[in-house]
Structures are given as structure tokens and as C-alpha cells.
Structure 1
Amino acid sequence: MVFIDEISRNEVFIACITAWFVAQLLKVILTLIFENRVDVSRFVGSGGMPSSHSSIVTSLTTAVGLKRGYSSVEFAISLVLALIVMYDAAGVRRAVGKQAQILNTMIEDIHAHKKDVFTEERLKELVGHTPIEVLAGALLGIIIANIMI
């Protein structure tokens, strides 16, 4: 298994996976601290503090910059990817979450007045991130890449 051997020695990849793992673990820990409950689904769920999307792409971008240089084509590609992902996390995906909240409220109101109108389950509301969650994830990714590379 040459592929597994080589990827397991890829410092950039390991830094990215570590950044994702730490961000997801922090979501579980912060849920425990602020909501006084253990929710292991936060480990694999999207949305919340910090943004693991931001963490993984800024870790990638930082690691590429450290390895290849901040004037390299690889860094530029990674930076553009990171900016798109973070914009999407705080923009489009956050708007989807807000729409889901409104639709869930509407469905609950309809159920309160008429039974069996909708059979769909609740829409997922925690999809995107606030700008602070994106920033926190970005800083986490930068820190982890600097520590590991």
C-alpha cells in the first residue's frame, strides 16, 4: 500500500487532518461547556464554533506557504480555495441555515393547526458559520500548521 504509506508521511495532509480533528473536538467540548450536555454528533456535524472548514483550508494554505513559499503557484491556488470555502461557510451556508429555521417554524405552526400536512423531518439548521466562527477556525488552522510544519 504505497499510497497509504506516502500519505501518512505527508506533513501538509497530516496538519490539515489535525486542524479538522481539533476543530471538531472543540465543538464537542464547547457544547459541553456552554450547553451542559455531551453531543458527540457535533464531532461530525457542520456549523458551530470553530469552523472546521476554515480550519482545514487555512491549515492547508499555511502549510503550503511554509513548504513551497508564499509566492508559489501552489500557495496562490490554496489561498483562493480557502477564501472561497470561508466565504461559502459564512455566506451561502449560513443563509441556508437561517432559511431552515424559518421553514421549521412555519412547519411547526402548520402542524399546530392542521395535523399530517407535512411528513418531512425538520430541516438541518446548523449548516453555516458566523464570521467569528470562520475567523476562529481560520486562526486555529494557521496555528496548527505553524506548529506541525
Structure 2
Amino acid sequence: MNRALWTSIAAIGTAQALKISARVRAKEHWAWRDLFRTGGMPSSHSAGAVSLATYIGLKKGSSSISFALASLLSLVVMYDAMGIRRHAGLIAMEVNLLEETVVKLTEQHPPHVHQQRGEDLEERLGHLPKEVLGGALLGVLIGCLGYATESGRTGRFENGFKFIRKSLTGLV
């Protein structure tokens, strides 16, 4: 069993479950497609990538090539979530608004015809910085849990927290 992979999948699943519970509380209904939606708190992409980096860092050490690759992947994923994907969502909002405006204009001027799209574009594609941070923190927690529970060794949390403290000290 690839423990790193399953730890990452668990982080993604946990983040999606947290998003669904928040949507249920807000809307009071749930749909299966919510399980695969992007955007919202916490970022499942960030949670998955950071849990992988955390697990590898604890397992192989912070100076390993594997940890460096997983960390770089995490940074790219988080940057993409806050940047490109978020801006794509903002563009989708503008396109949807433009569609509404064109429909109203063609209704006011009957000789002009506009074929309306069936559905609006999905607007919630990316994340706010706090949603990415929430996913990253969840990823660290689940990465530590995955490492600590490996092969039934539950006393490994101390190493995980030492690793986190050491990593944060190096950043400050």
C-alpha cells in the first residue's frame, strides 16, 4: 500500500466532506455533484498536495529530493488555486453577466436574435487565500496523522511536530 498516496487522498476527501457540510448548512440541500465541485473552504487541492509533502518530509526528511518535489508541487498547486483558477472564475462571472445583458437587449430589439446558452458558466473555480491556507493546514494535520499511524506507531506525533517547528523556524 502506498501510504503517501492514501494520505493525500484522505486529505482531499476530508476537505471535500468539510465543504459539503458547509454547503448543506448554508443551502439546506445537497447534490452528488457537490462532491466534485471546486472552490470553497478548505481547498482540497491544497490539502492533498500539502499532506503529501508533509508525509514525505516526515518519512524521508526535509533534505530529501522527494520532499523538495512534493513541496514545489504544493506551492504550484496553491499559487494556481489563488491565481489562475480564481481569475478564470471571475471571468466566468463577467461572461454570465454579459450573457444576461445580451438577452435583455435582444428582447428589447426584436429583429436581433441571440441564441442563449443552456447553463451559466461555473464561477467558483479557484480559492481565496484563506481557503488555500485552510486546505494547507488541514493537509499538514492529515500528513502528520498519516505518518503517525503508519504501521500502528501512534507515538510518532512528536516527530511530526518537531519537523513542523523546525520548518517554520527556518522560514522566520
Report the Cα distance in structure 2 between the residues aligned to 1:39 and 1:69, rounded to whole angstroms: 41
Give the Cα separation in 2 of the matches to 1:139 and 1:43.
21
**What is the RMSD of the two structures over their aligned residues, measured on CA atoms?**
1.3
1:6-63 Cα distance to aligned partner (Å, 9 max, x none) = xxx1111110010011111111101011232223322111111111100000011001
Matched, 1:103 2:95: yes
Unmatched 5+ stretches in structure 1: 1-8
Contact 2:103 2:116 in 1 (8 A): no
Native 8 Å contact 2:99 2:116 kept in 1: no
5+ residue gaps, structure 2, are 108-112, 148-172
Mapped partners of 1:62, 1:125: distance in 2: 31
Structure 2 residue aligned with 1:124: 122
The answer to whether residue 15 in structure 2 is matched with residue 23 in structure 1 is yes
Q: How does 1:56-95 map to 2 (within 5 A)?
A: 56-95=48-87
Contact 1:107 1:118 in 2 (8 A): no
**How many residues end up aligned between the 2 structures?**
141
Q: Give the aligned partner of residue 156 of structure 2.
A: none
Alignment of 1:23-42 (within 5 A): 23-42=15-34
Identity, in percent, stands at 39
Which residue does the alignment assign to 1:148? Answer: 146
Normalised by the length of structure 1, the TM-score is 0.89
- Give 3-state SS (helix, strand or coil) of 1:114's partner: helix
How many angstroms does 1:94 deviate by? 0.4
CA–CA distance in 1 between the matches of 2:15 and 2:129?
15
